[in-house]
Chains A and B, each alone.
Chain A
Amino acid sequence: MPKPKMPKSAPSLDMTPMVDLGFLLVTFFILTAKFRPNEPVLVDTPSSTSELLLPEKIMLVTIDGDGRVFFDIHGKDVRREMINGMIERHPELKLTEEQLKRFSVMGMFGMDLANLGTYLKEDEAVRAKMDQMTKGIPTDSLKNELAEWIQEGYEAFMIDAQNKGISVEDLRDDEGLRYAIKADGATEYEKIEKVIDIFREKNIFQFNMVTTLEAGVDISAESE
């Protein structure tokens, strides 16, 4: 095919494939972005200069400004194992297969056991209302459900790790369960201390406090 004689003009690049590529990459990133599960309560954590990332395998206890306690643990299988353990402890807690399934994919929750069944049955609108009205997971000494969740959560994690064939060394180094506390900046320290004491009774002393990132400081300049 004879090339038509082009008049001398500045070379121009056809951008169409570039656009295709651009949108392809955008689509990729949109789809691989993980969606944040609906949290029953929004907490404004204090800021710190710490740049350590929050590990993935965590047991997260969230404490809002009023001191209400919410609980979450990573992993669908772990959650399933944990709720099974809880049912063994409390035979009066009868849950259907559907409720159990819902529990294992849910995010953080702040229901006492008496209301947990109802919570897992209802639709989103009712659950949102329940989240608003809830007093969180009970932590007083007579009804320390938080301690039970922590115990069952830990055991569930260990069983799950065993099932997945993770060695004891790995558990000690990286793959182990970490304990995180996310609290609102305005929360009174006693509420957090209570949660920490409950953890201490279970021989847990090392915590990851969730913070937002603050600009770093170079003290070599300041101490001149």
Chain B
Amino acid sequence: MAEIIESGGGEKGGKKRPKKGVVRMDMTPMVDLAFLLLTFFILATSLSKPKTLEIIYPKEVENKDEKTKLADELATTILIGAGEEHLFYYHGKFDPDTTVLQKTDFSKDGFRKVLLDKNRTINERVFELKADLNSKQLSKEEYEAQYKEAYSKIVNDELAPFVIVKTIDKSMWRSVVNAMDELNICNVRKRAILDMEKNEQEAVEKRVTELGLPAAKESSND
């Protein structure tokens, strides 16, 4: 510990004394700085861990025929075109003559609203489950275990809606990830990623022209 050298009446520290000058520095700002650096490094190392979105692909692509056998009322399809704004959806089965493609986006009033609407019953049950488990005062592990089991049962219910994400070669990866993310946010577990049919592709192109949307950016290579 530093010693105080008595040199004729010193009450205040940290001031250079004209007589036998003993410099005492106030270390408080240095401590602030040290802890600031420390906090920075702690946060920087933990933030730099990349996050991940799990996607499970179907085993065979032919599964799509099976999917269409399921009740059409439960199906919603989102079509991801080439441009950032080329996003459309339709409910049920696609009919080239009658189906009207609705334009959508990834804002909270866009596709999310459509999904929340379709998935209302399931989401209500999920909220009930959460409220129920929260009221039970469980430990973290018990909560996680019970939640996981019950949640899986709710979202895989027979009458739960399912969503098909349809892409073309030139769809942007970002749009695909955004679509999958929206499905996760809205608790839609039944899903598939497939290629667009020819007639769906044509319908998208027609709609893009109809609505006067900007064309997709030309890729710089091929």
A residues whose Cβ falls under 8 Å from a Cβ of B: 4, 7, 9, 12, 14-19, 22-23, 25-26, 29-30, 32-34, 36, 45-55, 66-67, 180, 182-190, 192-193, 196, 200, 205-214, 217, 219-220, 222-223
CB distance from A119 to the nearest CB of B (A): 22
- Contact yes or no, B54 A15, CB < 8 A: no
Known: A22-B37, A189-B172. 8 other contacts (CB 8 A): A7-B9, A50-B181, A183-B173, A187-B172, A189-B168, A205-B57, A206-B56, A222-B116
Known contacts A46-B178, A209-B53; is-contact A22 B34 (Cβ 8 Å): yes
0/1 interface trace, chain B 179-218, chain A, CB 8 Å (1 if under):
0110011110000000000000000000000000000000
Give 13 CB contacts A-B under 8 Å: A18-B31, A22-B34, A29-B42, A46-B178, A48-B178, A50-B54, A52-B51, A54-B52, A66-B220, A185-B174, A188-B170, A205-B59, A210-B52
- Contact yes or no, A186 B28, CB < 8 A: no
A192 to chain B: which residues have CB within 8 Å? 173, 176
- Contact yes or no, A210 B184, CB < 8 A: no
CB distance from B122 to the nearest CB of A (A): 11
The docked-state distance in angstroms from the alpha carbon of A180 to that of B13 is 60
* Count of A-B residue pairs with CB < 8 Å: 178
B177 at the interface (CB under 8 A from A): yes
B45 at the interface (CB under 8 A from A): yes
B173 in complex: contacting residue of A15, A55, A189, A223, CB < 8 Å:
A189
The docked-state distance in angstroms from the alpha carbon of A51 to that of B26 is 43
Mostly, the B contact residues are mixed
B56 to chain A: which residues have CB within 8 Å? 205-207
> Number of B residues contacting the other chain (C-beta, 8 Å)?
61
- Contact yes or no, B55 A209, CB < 8 A: yes
- Contact yes or no, A46 B173, CB < 8 A: yes
B220 to chain A: which residues have CB within 8 Å? 66
The docked-state distance in angstroms from the alpha carbon of A223 to that of B125 is 13
- Contact yes or no, A208 B169, CB < 8 A: no
- Contact yes or no, A219 B116, CB < 8 A: yes
B49 in complex: contacting residue of A45, A53, A205, CB < 8 Å:
A53
B58 at the interface (CB under 8 A from A): yes
8 A Cβ contacts from B138-179 to A? 167-174, 176-178
What residue of chain A has the Cβ atom nearest to residue B45's Cβ?
A33
The docked-state distance in angstroms from the alpha carbon of A67 to that of B184 is 27
A50 to chain B: which residues have CB within 8 Å? 51-54, 181, 184
- Contact yes or no, A213 B51, CB < 8 A: yes
B134 at the interface (CB under 8 A from A): no
CB distance from A10 to the nearest CB of B (A): 10
A16 in complex: contacting residue of B27, B52, B187, CB < 8 Å:
B27
- Contact yes or no, B108 A49, CB < 8 A: no
B44 at the interface (CB under 8 A from A): yes
B181 to chain A: which residues have CB within 8 Å? 48-50, 211, 214
- Contact yes or no, A29 B28, CB < 8 A: no
B91 at the interface (CB under 8 A from A): no
What residue of chain A has the Cβ atom nearest to residue B1's Cβ?
A14
B52 in complex: contacting residue of A14, A32, A180, CB < 8 Å:
A180
The docked-state distance in angstroms from the alpha carbon of A156 to that of B161 is 42
What residue of chain A has the Cβ atom nearest to residue B44's Cβ?
A33
